[in-house]
Amino acid sequence: MVQGRDRRRYSFTPQPSGTRWYHTHAMAGHNLRIGTYSGQFGMVVVAPRSDPARYDLEVPILLHAWEPYFDSDMRMDVAFALYSVNGKMLGAGEPVRVRRAQRVLFRVVNASATLGHRLALPGHSFTVAALDGNPVSTVQKVPVLQLSPGERVDAIVEMTNPGVWILGEEDDAQRAAGAGIVIEYAGARGRPQWSPPPKHVWDYSVFGATQPAADPDVRHPLVIEPGKDGNLWAINGKSYPQTDPVILRRGGRNRLIFDNRSSMDHPVHLHRHTMEIVRWAGKPLSGVRKDVILVPAHQTVEADVVASNPGLSLFHCHQQFHMDFGFMALMRYSS
């Protein structure tokens, strides 16, 4: 906790390697000026001891939405007036300058408080190398990157289509309000071009491995439902701070079963651990390791956590408005 006009110094050994980020974790509630609504975030790249990835240029892409407001008198839905990539609206900042035949590594962070984003780059595709900083089991080429709040994607783009392009949000209104950045090939001229990507359904399982995941030692059902008594969200019938702590078996393989009985998507996030997705929207998989996992509306998602980092850990939805209104719990280990 860093108070106003306060100063703190922490030192730590960063691990695991990969694309990470930092942000304020303040509860915002109805105050849309603090927490992840604010600009208090940034990217942290933990370099591996040896780097097997091969690329010519590394480009950070931080997505954020600004000037939040309540979309209705009920003060339940947050909307945003402006969008940015790396702090600039589309067209306002410097373009990303590339050359033909370069392999460009885009490190993308969705630093939005509440919104998922889908990104495309006309005339190019994304080869996804890592999710939430962790290398994927199957490197896969996709036309669209989809990121829920808090998620990260590392993707390599082969620059084979000279021109001036928009790397942007698929949604026209958001792109018009700033959600994009210009990609400019050396020697290319003209207005930045956009065309809608082919229809594409984002599915974590394409990045997985073929062998089934190991059986868990213990299962933890987590039912996600709308809350009562003014709380929007509940986990197993209770809203934070009343939520029951989730007690993981120390050293064991703990299976978290997210049963989303609501009509909204939830990007669930666990601090201090990495979860391996073992079932996503009906499909079994393994080898996809993340710390934020999208649990789609009316779907069940299962993910395994090896309990090897004792202490209190926070579990919550990374959608700020959900987290602030009940969707949070503590996790600790059995003694």
Token representation of residue 294: 């999208």
Q: Give, in degrees to the nearest 5, the angle at Cα 38 between 8 and 110.
A: 100
Q: Which stretch binds Cu ion (CB under 5 A): 162-170, 192-200, 293-301, 312-320?
A: 312-320
Contact criterion met (CB below 8 Å) for 204 and 137: no
Contact indicator for 162, 185 with CB cutoff of 8 Å: yes
Looking at residue 249, the DSSP 8-state letter turns out to be P
Looking at 108, 319, 331, 333, which residue binds Cu ion (CB under 5 A)?
319
The residue (of 155 and 323) whose beta carbon lies closer to Cu ion is: 323
| Segment lying near Cu ion (by CB under 5 A), choices 80-88, 139-147, 205-213, 309-317 | 309-317
Rounded to a whole number of angstroms, the minimum distance from the CB of residue 226 to Cu ion is 11
By CB under 5 A, residue 269 contacts Cu ion: no
Instruction: Compute the radius of gyration of the chain from its Cα atoms.
Output: 20
Contact positions with Cu ion (CB under 5 A) in 154-173: none
260 binds Cu ion (CB under 5 A): no
Nearer to Cu ion, 84 or 319 (CB): 319
> Does residue 322 bind Cu ion (CB under 5 A)?
yes
Choose among 98, 102, 105, 68: nearest CA to 83.
68
Q: Looking only at residues 184 through 243 of this chain, which bind Cu ion when binding is defined by CB under 5 A?
A: none
Of positions 23, 124, 220, 266, contacts Cu ion by CB under 5 A = 266
DSSP string, 94-119: PPEEE-TT-EEEEEEEE--SS--EEE
CA-wise closest residue to 211 among 156, 137, 102, 104: 137
- Write the CB contacts of 173 (distance below 8 Å, at least 6 apart in sequence): none
Of the pair 64, 322, the CB lying nearest Cu ion is at 322
The owner of tokens 């009343």 is: 242
| Nearest distance, CB of residue 319 and Cu ion, angstroms | 4
What is the C-alpha separation between 206 and 287, in angstroms, rounded?
10
* Candidates 12-20, 53-61, 136-144, 260-268; binding stretch for Cu ion (CB under 5 A): 260-268
Q: Would you count residue 20 as binding Cu ion (CB under 5 A)?
A: no
Phi, psi of 323 (to 5 degrees): -60, -45
**Residue 219 beta carbon to Cu ion: minimum distance, rounded to whole angstroms:** 22
- Decide whether 188 or 264 has the Cβ nearer to Cu ion: 264
Report in angstroms the alpha-carbon separations of 317 from 48, 164, 166, 323.
29, 37, 31, 5
Size of the site for Cu ion (CB under 5 A): 4
Query: Where does this chain touch Cu ion (CB under 5 A) — which range of 29-37, 74-82, 128-136, 313-321?
Result: 313-321
Binding site for Cu ion (CB under 5 A): 266, 317, 319, 322
